[in-house]
Amino acid sequence: MLRHPFLPSYIRAAILLLPFVAYGYYLLAAVCARMFFARKHPNGNGFSPPISILKAVRGVDRRAYENFASFCKLDYPDYEILFGVCDPDDPVVPIVRKLMADFPSRSIRLFTGLPRLGPNEKASTLAHLAREARHEILVASDSDTSASQDYLRVIAAPFQNPAVGAVTCVYRGIAAKTLGDAMEALRISSDFLASVLVARLFGGMRFALGATAATTKQRLAEIGGFEKLAAFLLDDFELGRLVSARGYRVVLLAYAVAIVMPAETFAGFWHRQVRWLVGIRHCRPWGHFGLLFTQGLPLSLLAIMVSRSGREAASYAALYFVTRYLVAWSTAALGLEDSTLRQKWWLVPFVDAATFLAWIASITTDRVRWRGSTFQVRKGRLTSEDAASGR
């Protein structure tokens, strides 16, 4: 414990108070999670307009065929699946072609050799697919996502309300047996989701999540299409923000899809966190700053260092663990039914430590790595360093 004689009393008092902001945040997030997941899924009452599912793909994700096949088995009367890839020689192309052969009754189309419209390859590919889509409702879903049979019925239901401009849903990670995967799955279910639910409580839902971002052709045209999003790092965030700015509702459903983690190392986990946090800093700078006060672990450790007794220090440790695991259990185990928390619960403090260090790193850089390429971020927009250097 720190007993520095020159530490002013008011600074010590501030250090001892700050952790309670994080503990309060954890408690609030736990309450938000219980209220959010207590809601029933909308059933649509038979509302089932035709839908186009858009899949921008690149490379072969873990369980790629199984992920794609889950979208071919949906319980929905009329939908199509459009796959798009920039490189016609991409190794994912044969997998999509096999899918088309295995599900001949399903409307599946593949578009290859699509030219880039901006540095964000995913948004660029989605722009091409949206032009080719036959139906009004568009559901953009990440390539690593797996869906249950009722997926489209749940996603379509909110569009009965003409005030709804976009629909998105929560997700949980299916981790491989790697440290990076386990930490990323825990961060998604016990940390990221908590921040989403608290942000939704105070500011409304003004963004979308990449695992599922649904909108209509009309709403998409009003915001400038996916073409406008091809310059941004967080294209899903921007989609929801622009739709909300037009006065439409963005609906977050208490319905979880699964994303299959890529069996990544700790380094992969680290680059993912820095990339996301750099994007948040550019899109929502005050929100990025506010994340500091949700970091219960470093704030508690700092308070423990200036505590005047072992009992006081132990109280801070206990408060961190109790409130942190309360929100983790409420969001991950009870809300998302994520088995990773039950199996790797002891990793949560390490995830918190890594997330805090990534937050610090995100202040010091504007450079991110994304699918093997390096980018500079300016006001949320991407500039490819590889393209600039001629690589």
Express each pLDDT in 38-88 by its tens digit: 987 766 678 899 999 999 999 998 899 999 999 999 999 999 999 999 999
At residue 209, the 3 state secondary structure works out as: strand
386 vs 108, residue with greater confidence: 108
Does residue 5 carry a pLDDT above 60? Answer: no
Residues linked to residue 85 through DSSP beta bridges, in sequence order = 112
For residues 84-101, average pLDDT: 96
- How many residues make up the chain in this entry? 391
pLDDT at 41: 72
Q: What does the pLDDT average to over 283-306?
A: 93
pLDDT digit string, tens, across residues 321-358: 999 999 999 999 999 988 899 899 999 999 999 999 99
Looking at CATH, the fold of the domain delimited by 41-264 is given as: Spore Coat Polysaccharide Biosynthesis Protein SpsA; Chain A (3.90.550)
| Contact yes or no for 29/331 (Cβ under 8 A) | yes
At residue 283, the pLDDT reads: 85
The model carries a pTM of 0.91
Per-residue pLDDT averaged across 146-175, rounded?
94
Q: What is the DSSP letter of 368?
A: E
Scanning the chain, the segments in alpha helix (DSSP H) are 9-37, 64-70, 92-102, 121-132, 151-156, 179-187, 193-203, 217-222, 225-229, 235-245, 266-283, 285-290, 296-306, 310-328, 339-344, 348-364, 385-388
SS3 137: strand
Rounded average pLDDT over 207-230: 95
Side-chain-facing half-sphere of 50: CA atoms under 13 Å = 11
Report pLDDT for 367.
Answer: 87
Q: Which residues share a beta bridge with 81?
A: 53, 108
* Joined tokens for residue 267: 């380094």
**The pLDDT value given to residue 210:** 86
* pLDDT band, very low/low/confident/very high, at 387 (cuts 50, 70, 90): very low
**Comma-separated ranges of CATH 3.90.550.10 domains in the chain:** 41-264
In what helix (H) or strand (E) does residue 167 lie, and over which residues does it extend?
Answer: strand 164-174
213-216, strands of its sheet edge to edge: 107-112, 79-85, 51-56, 137-140, 213-216, 164-174, 249-260, 145-146
- pLDDT, mean over the chain: 91
- Of residues 269 and 203, more confidence is placed in 269
Q: 151: which 2 tokens? A: 């997926």
Handedness of CA 82, 386, 90, 65 (dihedral sign): negative
pLDDT, residue 385, reads: 60
The predicted pLDDT at position 9 comes to: 82
Residue 88 has what pLDDT? 94
Note the pLDDT of residue 391.
40
Is 42:157 a contact under the CB 8 Å cutoff? yes
Backbone angles phi, psi at 342, to 5 degrees: -65, -35
pLDDT of 3: 54
pLDDT for the residue 265: 87
pLDDT at 4: 56
Q: Is the pLDDT of residue 241 over 90?
A: yes
Give the pLDDT mean for 356-377: 87
Q: Is the pLDDT of residue 1 over 80?
A: no
- Which of these, 169, 170, 148, lies nearest to 157 by C-alpha position? 169
Q: Which amino acid is at 368?
A: V
Q: What is the full DSSP assignment across 195-257?
A: HHHHHHHHH-----BTTBEEEEHHHHHHTTHHHHHTTBS-HHHHHHHHHHHTT-EEEEEEEEE
Q: Collapse the DSSP code of 51 into the 3-class scheme (helix H, G, I; strand E, B; otherwise coil) and give the result.
A: strand
What is the tens place of the pLDDT at every residue in 252-279?
A: 999 999 999 887 889 989 998 999 999 9
Kindly state the percentage of the chain with pLDDT values over 90: 75
Q: What is the pLDDT of residue 388?
A: 42
CA R_g for the chain: 22
Paired tokens of 65: 């065929």
Mean pLDDT lowest for which of 28-42, 103-117, 215-229? Answer: 28-42
Over 70: is that where the pLDDT of 2 sits? no
Q: Is the pLDDT of residue 390 over 60?
A: no
